[in-house]
Structure 1
Amino acid sequence: MTLTSEQEGRPAPGRSFPVADAWLPAFDAVPRSLFLPDLLWAHDMATGTSRSLDRTTDERGWLAAAAADIPIVTQWDDGGHQGAEPGTVPTSSASQPSLVASMLDDLQAEPGMRVLEQGTGTGWNAALLSHRLGDANVTTVEIDPQVSAQARAALRTAGYRPTVICADGASGYPPGAPYDRIIVTYGLRRIPEAWIEQTRPGGLILAPFGTHYSNADALVRLTVHSDGTASGPFLQPVEFMKMRSQRLTWPQNPADGGTLAESTTTATLPAHDKFAPFPLAAGLRLRDVVHAIQPHEDGARTLWLYSLTVPAWAAATFRDGEDEHHVRQHGGRRLWDDFEQALTWWHQAGEPGADRLGLTVNPDGWQAWLDDPAQRI
């Protein structure tokens, strides 16, 4: 890849994020503002909060948000939310432009290739793809009828006519297959088999993937093989809204049955921030576990672990300055024992982050690996 002046540290006029040379004409020709609704919510990544902006009453603020390198929420609560105040759960958005640019570069798409986009959203990404690859080579799928209709209208107004399909993306879109590339704009906990079947051997699937251990994802680039499998490295930590059919359902805390086991640990709790390296590795190693961190008024923190497959939980409370920490476990899986094994493995492996991890997908599911597909986690 040839670096632009932005990637070399010199921001290009009017843009604060790097864009690969091959995608510069598309970004210059297709502003994000063409695809945003009059009422939007600018998301502050530092605070995790969103504030509403209405173009009809604050056009200057609206335009500034549209041009900024920030995510913008365009739908709350699967469309059930009304009013200007933020809703409960963001369910559609325009992604941060710098991430859009880096993902398109990571896709390694070339003119003449056929691309399936999963998650149309506002339609901006589909327009960028259409500008470079041509309308006939771009298919985009969106599950939400209102979001899909709005995107189709915005695309036509902007002069682009890719194939826009309103459907559940888990089935792919067989009429347009085989695809050279699939790009996914929502977080996954499983890679649908249909996507591998609809990608030609040697083609790529670029998707945010993670586990239910945390809400964070990491971008993975899978190469599809002729034997029906796909494999490739994680590229960078990210966080996306999740595929609707793969959202987390929190387990019920088992109150009865089993024995409560208490013990102590000398382990140190690793960072669990959004893009910290341990949660991704822990989820890939532990499987079917979700965590929560409970802060206490005295400064202590309790790590809660819940099984997604059997009634079981564990809790370990950490206090700064103490060498031993109280642990409780209950139910049909000794979650703390599994957690300590994963933590020991992570330390011994050199505390790997996303850049040392990878994923192999086959009809039976997925398998994570460290540094090489042969070194399974």
Structure 2
Amino acid sequence: MDWQKAAESLAGSVTDPDSRWRAPVSIVPRHELVPRWWERDGSGGWLLRDGATDPESWWKAAYTDRSLITSVGGLHADHAEPGDRPEGLPTSSATLPSLVVRMLRHGRLGPGLDLLDLGTGAGGLTAYAATRLADQRVTSVDVDPYLTSAAAERLARFGLRPRFVALDATAEIPGTYDRIIATVALRPGSALRTVLGALREGGRLVTTLANTALILTAWKGPDGEARGLIERDTAGFMKTRTSDNYPPALTELFALARSAEGDERSTGRYPVVDVAEAWELRSMLEVTTPGVELGYETHDRHRNAYLVHPDGSWARASAEWTDPPEVHQGGRQRLWTALERIRNRLNAEGSLPLLGAHVRITPDGVVHLSRGNWRASMG
């Protein structure tokens, strides 16, 4: 198979004919960035895929517009044995090229600008940016030293030598940059404060916010604040982490939510929904009730949704298909009630005020949102 023709075909599907990103996508050998990856096995587990032993599947996966999971629960596909079955959340991936291009376009890159790629992953965004910009203008960082070293080695094979640094970008970022594009979701507050501190005056930040699908773009002013908007565009990225894996989920609280009667029992107004897949609802829930973790199960036509919070609050909604659900809630907060308030607003107004909202990020990393008479702060 001719990888260059495959890359040109991929570029044609994810960029416009006059896009400045068409050439980078068409000349980067994406298959070299993802020699091994994880795929779902159909029963909820993970199956290792090795490109060298199945070249046809390798090339098809690499030059299709899809994300490829490269690490699960901290186990890199590069380090795995064929019988390994990792557990936990994905911790790294090769992001689908169309989304990489969208984030680069939001970044407003140009000659002479220094770019920080926050979240190396498989190195795709770094490769595209370094192809278009001078190598010395691109720095890529990741908390996982293996990711930065592997990406550096693989990009060097096709003549790209941007700077790679392994560090926890939520704690410290050396140097300053004209553009920062994060392909990990940042938490408002301390993490965003650190990133904002690495952005030069007049610089532009592009990121998603943790537990949301919101793409935030902002320009940093002379007062140290950054102002911009929530783009009318959405994306989902893994959250920043400070080690090779995420902290354990609220397992005991999820177990309680699955079986307990709770302090309050009621009939819900709206059908059970998989909140994690309802991106606008999920995003607004994080704005109004930050820190909620989600679970969802289906069996035949029966649906169960679970919401839990680190403060001990939990909710369970159960129903047959689209029937009104039976809702059980416990703890300090009424999480399903909070979700239903959002759904009330969506039904009453036809939309939520998130997309297109004005953004102001103060030097402490707090995100202030506004649209019309609506106001909210995160972090």
CA contact 2:10–2:64 (8 Å) conserved in 1 = no
Cα distance in 1 for residues equivalent to 2:142 and 2:163: 11
Question: Does the residue aligned with 2:216 lie in a helix, a strand or coil?
Answer: strand
The letter of the residue matching 1:76 is: V
Q: Does 1:220 align with 2:216?
A: yes
1:54 aligned partner: 50
Matches within 5 A, 1:1-377: 13=9, 15-19=11-15, 21-37=19-35, 39-41=36-38, 52-79=48-75, 82-84=80-82, 87-88=86-87, 89-175=89-175, 177=176, 179-190=177-188, 191-211=191-211, 217-231=213-227, 232-245=229-242, 247=246, 249-251=248-250, 252-253=252-253, 260-269=263-272, 272=275, 274-295=277-298, 299-308=301-310, 310-320=311-321, 322=323, 325-352=325-352, 355-357=355-357, 359-367=359-367, 369=369, 371=371, 375-377=374-376
CA contact 1:219–1:236 (8 Å) conserved in 2 = yes
Question: Does the residue aligned with 1:185 lie in a helix, a strand or coil?
Answer: strand
CA contact 1:72–1:94 (8 Å) conserved in 2 = yes
Question: Does the residue aligned with 1:17 lie in a helix, a strand or coil?
Answer: helix
1:328-364 CA deviation, whole Å, 9 max, x = no partner? 2222223344333333233334233863446443345
CA contact 1:357–1:368 (8 Å) conserved in 2 = no
Quote the offset at 1:229 in angstroms.
2.8
Quote the offset at 1:26 in angstroms.
1.9
- The two structures have a TM-score, normalised by structure 1, of 0.80
Tell me how many residue pairs correspond in the alignment.
353
Quote the offset at 1:238 in angstroms.
2.1
Cα distance in 2 for residues equivalent to 1:270 and 1:351: 17
Where structure 1 has 5 or more consecutive residues not aligned to the other structure, the ranges are 1-10
Cα distance in 2 for residues equivalent to 1:75 and 1:271: 25
Question: Does the residue aligned with 2:196 lie in a helix, a strand or coil?
Answer: helix
The letter of the residue matching 1:66 is: A
CA contact 2:33–2:122 (8 Å) conserved in 1 = yes
- Give the 3 Å change call, closer, same or farther, for CA 237–353 of structure 1 in structure 2: farther
Q: Could you tell which deviates more after superposition, 284-293 or 146-155?
A: 284-293
Q: Could you tell which deviates more after superposition, 231-240 or 345-354?
A: 345-354
Quote the offset at 1:194 in angstroms.
1.6
CA contact 1:301–1:317 (8 Å) conserved in 2 = yes
Quote the offset at 1:18 in angstroms.
2.7
Cα distance in 1 for residues equivalent to 2:131 and 2:231: 27
The share of aligned pairs that are identical, in percent, is 25
CA contact 2:346–2:352 (8 Å) conserved in 1 = yes
- Give the 3 Å change call, closer, same or farther, for CA 111–292 of structure 1 in structure 2: same
- Give the 3 Å change call, closer, same or farther, for CA 43–65 of structure 1 in structure 2: farther
